[in-house]
Structure formats: structure tokens, C-alpha cells
Structure 1
Amino acid sequence: MRTARRLALPARTVRVRFTALYGVLFLLSGAALLVITNLVSLGSTRISEVAPGGGPPARNSTLAAAHERISLLESQLAGARESQSHQLLVGSAVALAVMALVSIVLGRIIAGRVLRPLRTITAATRRISADNLHERLAVPGPADEVKDLADTIDELLERLESSFAAQRRFVANASHELRTPLATMRASLDVAVAKPEPVPPQTVALADRLRIELDQVDRLLEGFLLLARTQHGAMSDRSTISLGRTVRAALDARAADIAARRLTVHDGDLHDDTWTQGSATLLSRMADNVIDNAITHNDEGGWITVATTTDGTTALLVVETGGRLLDQEQVARLAQPFQRLGADRTGSGDGSGLGLSIVAAIATAHGGGLDLAARPEGGLRVAISLPLAAARTGVPA
């Protein structure tokens, strides 16, 4: 019963409420008009029943016949009056029913005309996203409440566009500016270690440690740039890509890492004929991040299952790993930047916390999505959905 009630709630639109309001107003106006008409009709009937004042009563032999004639006329008049009242009542009921139907139709038409500008604004607002914030509603018409609403939304879009642009410039400029001191620091380390005189072992160990940290900062900056480009940048290298071949290339490039951790890869369901359309660079990075995540956050000697499937108009990439039981609430937050399950998951604290957030941003930029789920048996399931594209003829992707 609750389910049926929830299903009925979306039907309560503003147009339905306006239709009911206008319909009730029209119906009440029609009912008031019929009541006034009936009262006027009954008043005139009562007036016509009043007998005019006459002269002295008749005193002849036909008095009894006259009284009998009057009684007959009064009974006929009462019947005619009753018939007239019945016809008036029936006519009023029919008129009220017709008025009710007309009120609903007129109410729906008027509500539709009143809400038409709002529907136009809603449709235009839905078409505007982070990728086309330069578009505006630009609703024409007189300076009324609807025009004020549209102008306010346009001003909000203008502020959002400026904010997004400032954010992109800041991330790009900061990342580029930070690369120069990092390169200087790395060069200084190399010079310090390469001196002719013997270098103390502590200095060599410290230099190696600093190089590792500098490499981590480089990866973090690269992740910032890629995340900013994916979320707010335009894709100029769109082409038809084989999702299976892209993932297989990522696996082949990490064969040494997989062997080092003694992982078993099950890729029997990785099909090369699963096609999608998008940026080859970004989709390759998406596959790299997913495979890196499966390798890094895995048990020593564990397993990885990789599969690609199609479902109607969707290409699906699924990567599963084994391991201990995970909390679904924490897993769902992994698509956000700098979210980790912690070093206790694998015994390692590697990673910048941007890998799966970049995957989610790339999937969203291509019209797809990322779904993260904790497996009931333990481990993680990563499912990426992308729009399915027709197979490309020619050189394989």
C-alpha cells in the first residue's frame, strides 16, 4: 500500500494542482449563478400566485360553482408549479455537471498556459551542465515574475561559469608552477649525490627517500591536471575505441607488477568487440587506474577478474578483486578525491587517493558512470558503464 502511495506522489504536479484550483473556482462560480437563477425564478413564481384584490364577493346562485372552479384551477396551478420546479432542478443538475466538466477542461488549459514558460525554463536548465555553462536561458517576454526568474537563473549560470573557469585556471597554474621547484629539488639531489668525494650513506638514503616523495608529488600534480581536464575540459581526440583491447593493453603493461605480487588474472570474458566512443587518452588512463587499483589494493597471491559485456546501449567493464570484507559506505566514497580505505586494507599506504575519482570523472565525461560495490564474499567490484558504439572498421583500437 505504501508502494502504491509513493508511485502516486509524482502525479501531483503543479499543473494538476492548478487544474483543481481553477476547476473548483469555475465550478463554484457556475453553482452560484444557478442558485441565483433559481432564487429569482422562485420569487417571480410566488409573486404570480398572489391574487389581486377585488370588489365585494359575488352573491348569486353560481357561488358554489365558482368555488369549485377555483379549486380546480388551484390544483392545476400547483401541478404546473411542481412540474416546473422539477424541470428547473433537473436542468440545474445537468448544467452543473456540464459546468464541472467545462471547468476541469478550462482549468487544465489555463494551467498549461500559465506553466508553459516554467516548462521552457526547466527544459533549458536541464540541457545546461558543467560542459556548456556558457549557454543562457534568454527567455523573452514582458518583465514579469517568470522573466525575473529566468534572468536570475542566467545570472547564477554566469557566476558558476566564472567560478568553474577560475577553478580550472588555478589548478592548471598551480600544478604547472609547482613542477619547476620540484624539478629544481630533484636536480639538486642529483648534484649532491654525484659529487666526486665520497657521499655518506645517510645522505644517499635521504636522497632516495626524497626522490620517492618527489615522484609521489609529481603523480599527485598529474592527477590534479587530469582531473581538472576531465571534469571541465573538452575532448578533442574522440574516436571509436575497443574497451576490451584498451584494458588488455593496461594488463600487458603491468605484467611485471602482477607477477611480482603473484596475482592470478582471469580475463576469459574480456571481449575485444566491446566498443565505445570517446577520448583514447582518457579511456586508456581510466583502464590504467582501474588495473592499478586492482593490483595495489589486493592480497599477496590474490586474483583479479576482468570482463567486458554489452547491455542494450551500454558497454560495461567489470573488474573484481578478492580480499577481506569491506564496508559498503566506505567503498561508496572511494569515487571522491583523496578517499582511501586505509593502509590496513593491503598493508600499503601507496597511492594519491585520486585514482578512482579520476575513473569516475572520465566515465561521467563520456556519458557513463562508475559503480563501486563491496563483494559479499570479500573484496571489491568496480563496474564502469559507457555508451555503446558501433564496431569500427579498419585499424584496431
Structure 2
Amino acid sequence: MGKLRSGTVVRRFTILYAAGFLGSGTALLALTYLMSGSRLTTAAPEQPPAGPAGPGAAERRIRDLEGQLSDMQGQQDHQLLAGSLIALVVMVGVSLLLGRVLAGRVLRPLRLITAATRRISAENLHQRLAVAGPADEVKELADTVDGLLERLEASFAAQRRFVGNASHELRTPLATMRASLDVAVAKPEPAAQTVALAGRLRTELDRVDHLLDGFLVLARAQHGTLVDRTPVSLGGLVREALTARAADITAKTLTVDDEVRPDTWTRGSAALLSRTVANMVDNAIVHNQDRGWIRISTEHDDTEARLVVTTGGPVLDQERVDRLTQPFERLGADRTGPEGSSGLGLSIVAAIVTAHGGRLTLLARPEGGLSVTAALPSAAGPEVTR
């Protein structure tokens, strides 16, 4: 962790320490000056009484000595004041330096706690601060943070277990319902109503199955650990997604402008990144108008690999577009498409991109339509790493 920014507690401690020293030093200087002036004034010799004979020369000598003594006292006062002021200025500088050193030492445990807390994420919640030392306020704060991390770890573990159990428990009754429909339709000469009902139920079961799959992928991206990181070609994933949806593109008579570069690589879970690209392509197809267009491009530099999917259409509200990364958010019936939408597509994309250390940007184009950009950490292809 870098140094604390200007204007933080270190600076406030330094200014407070220096101000306290300056105030006390000024008060001490004033008190010393007043006491010195009073002492020297009372120490001045008194005017001797005039003798009967009136020795004028002696009286003049005494007055000269008194004048010299007064001048010497004034010079001493000025020298004392000047020296004290110089000493005060020097000590103010020393106090600023000393105050910063002391403030840094006092706040060093807090900086260590802040740095350690920032390093802890969902993937290493098992780590603890474990601050050693006396039972003071700093250790109490560290122990409180450790307790919070322990509760978060337990919560994440319970959520992962729930996702795994839900995957099994919810798919089993769906499979049973499908089997029951198949048995009912397979009977000799089934009633027309039975066949029609079975068709409608199969459609709804497909939607539930698709929704369940979206939930599981979203949960894995948000709370899972990416252990299967490998080099992945964004261009290859785009080719696969376009091939899989070729029939839907043809059915809508969409024009696809392909500007995909084969040397755009990232590193991560191939399954999750494939789902990301597929969802972005699906979103561009489903939420598009007949005879519309799609432009897909990839680009990269030393730090980022970017996939940009742009579509035409009506002018959209940017504030509503920004909410599309939230589950079940839609732009209305005009963007649900004939296939319907679970409202999880872009939220899944956002969760997967974030889990890979990237960012998702949604931009409502001024001329109409939507531009979706997934920026991921750039990586070298396997042919470069050999």
C-alpha cells in the first residue's frame, strides 16, 4: 500500500502537535520576557540624594552610569527576545518533523490493517489480519475485522453449498416432469388436449430450465473461484457463437459486420468466457429489429483485450441502459424479443467479466442502438508462450 494522501490523519496529527508546541512556546517566551523586564527594572540603582556640598562631578558620573546600565538592559532584552524567537522558529520546524514521525509510528498499525484488508477478497477470505501486540484500540479493531471476515467466509461457503444443492434438487423434479409428459404423450391415441397441454408444458419447462441455468452460472461467477484459468481466444469464441446462432441471424435477416481479430487473447475460465460471448451475441440478435445489423469487433493492447458488440435500433435512455447489468432488468417489451428474455443475460456477462478482473460498459448510442464492451486482461496466446 502507498503512503497516505495529503490531508489525512498523519497531516492532522502533525499540524496539531506543531500547533500545540507553538502555542506553549509562545506562552513560555512571553512569560520569560515579562519576568526578565520586571527583574531588571527593580535591580536598577536608585538616585542618590544630593549632598550638602553638592559634588556635581559625582552626580553626573552616577547619571552616566545609570544611562549606560539602562542601555545595556535594553540591548540584553532585545538580544533575549531575538534569540528566543529564533529558537522558537527552529523548534517549530523540529516539532513538525518530530510530529510527522510520531504520527507515522502511531498510525503504522492502521496502515498495515488497511493494506491487509484490501488484499483480502472473495477468493481468500480464509486469511486473517492476526495483529499481535497489547490489547489496545488497534488490536480491538483488527480483531473486529477478523470476526467480520470469518462471518463473510461462512456466508460465502453456505452460498456455494446452496448453489450446488440447488443445481441437483431443482433439476431432478424438472426431469421427472419431462418424463411424465413423455409417458402421457406416448400412450396409444392420446387426446388432442393432452398433446397440446404437453407441448405448452414442455415450453414452460424449457424456460424454467434456461432460467435455472442462468441462476447457476450467475452464482458461480459472483461467488465461485476461478481455478481453471487458461489462455482463451476471444475471436474463437465469437466464431463459435455466430455459428451456433446462424439460423437465428438468417431468420431475422440481420447483417453481421465481423471485425474480429484472431490475436485477441485473455486468460480465464473457458466455459464462463464462452458463456459471456454467447450472451453478448444472443443479446444483439434477440433484442434487434428485423433486417437490422450487428457489428462485432475485437481489439487489444498490452493490458486489455476488448470485445465490442454494437447494434442499431431506436435511441435508448442511458440511465435505463446502465441498469441492464442488474438481474431481471429490461428496457421494456420492445426489447424482450419474440423469444422472451429472462433478464439475466447481461447481468451474467457483468458478473463473469468482473470475476476475471475486467469491466463491462454499456453505451446508448446517440444515433440509436446499443454498444456493449467487455474489457478483459490481455494475455499472450499459447503459440507465444511456447
TM range (shorter): over 0.9
2:328 pairs with 1:341: no
2:169 pairs with 1:174: no
One-letter code aligned to 1:270? V
**In structure 2, what is the equivalent of residue 5 of structure 1?**
none
More displaced stretch, 169-178 vs 327-336: 169-178
Q: Which runs of 5+ in 1 are unaligned?
A: 1-9
CA drift at 1:37: 2.5
Cα deviation 1:299-322 (Å, max 9, x = unaligned): 111111111112441111111111
CA drift at 1:392: 2.1
Q: Aligned with 1:278: secondary structure? A: strand
Distance 2:350 2:335 in 1: 21
Ranges of 4+ aligned residues in structure 1 off by more than 3 Å: 56-61, 346-349
2:10 pairs with 1:18: no
**In structure 2, what is the equivalent of residue 234 of structure 1?**
225
Q: Aligned with 1:140: secondary structure? A: coil
Q: 1:288 aligns with which of 278, 281, 289?
A: 278
Confirm or deny: 8 A CA contact 1:175 1:224 kept in the other structure.
Answer: no
Distance 1:236 1:171 in 2: 17
2:153 pairs with 1:161: yes
**In structure 1, what is the equivalent of residue 369 of structure 2?**
379
Confirm or deny: 8 A CA contact 2:286 2:337 kept in the other structure.
Answer: no
Q: 1:127 aligns with which of 102, 119, 130?
A: 119
Distance 1:134 1:326 in 2: 44
2:211 pairs with 1:216: no
**In structure 2, what is the equivalent of residue 205 of structure 1?**
196
CA drift at 1:205: 1.8
Q: Aligned with 1:211: secondary structure? A: helix
CA drift at 1:203: 2.1
Q: 1:49 aligns with which of 28, 44, 47?
A: 44
CA drift at 1:83: 1.2
Confirm or deny: 8 A CA contact 1:331 1:374 kept in the other structure.
Answer: yes
Confirm or deny: 8 A CA contact 2:330 2:336 kept in the other structure.
Answer: no
2:243 pairs with 1:252: yes
CA drift at 1:339: 1.4
Confirm or deny: 8 A CA contact 2:45 2:66 kept in the other structure.
Answer: no
Label 1:287 to 1:127 Cα distance change in 2 as closer, same or farther (>3 A): same
Distance 2:45 2:312 in 1: 102
Alignment of 1:83-98 (within 5 A): 83-98=75-90
One-letter code aligned to 1:112? G
TM-score, normalised on structure 1? 0.91
Distance 1:230 1:152 in 2: 29
Distance 1:316 1:51 in 2: 96
2:51 pairs with 1:58: yes
CA drift at 1:385: 0.7
**In structure 2, what is the equivalent of residue 115 of structure 1?**
107
CA drift at 1:50: 4.3
Distance 1:137 1:103 in 2: 33
Confirm or deny: 8 A CA contact 1:342 1:349 kept in the other structure.
Answer: no
Distance 1:244 1:42 in 2: 89
Cα deviation 1:178-203 (Å, max 9, x = unaligned): 1111111111111111111x223232
One-letter code aligned to 2:209? D
Distance 1:81 1:185 in 2: 110
**In structure 1, what is the equivalent of residue 307 of structure 2?**
317
Distance 1:109 1:336 in 2: 47
One-letter code aligned to 1:17? R
Q: 1:330 aligns with which of 320, 323, 326?
A: 320
CA drift at 1:230: 1.5
Label 1:70 to 1:273 Cα distance change in 2 as closer, same or farther (>3 A): same
More displaced stretch, 286-295 vs 341-350: 341-350
**In structure 2, what is the equivalent of residue 393 of structure 1?**
383
Distance 1:348 1:75 in 2: 111
Confirm or deny: 8 A CA contact 1:263 1:301 kept in the other structure.
Answer: yes
CA drift at 1:44: 2.5
Label 1:316 to 1:347 Cα distance change in 2 as closer, same or farther (>3 A): closer
Confirm or deny: 8 A CA contact 1:304 1:322 kept in the other structure.
Answer: yes
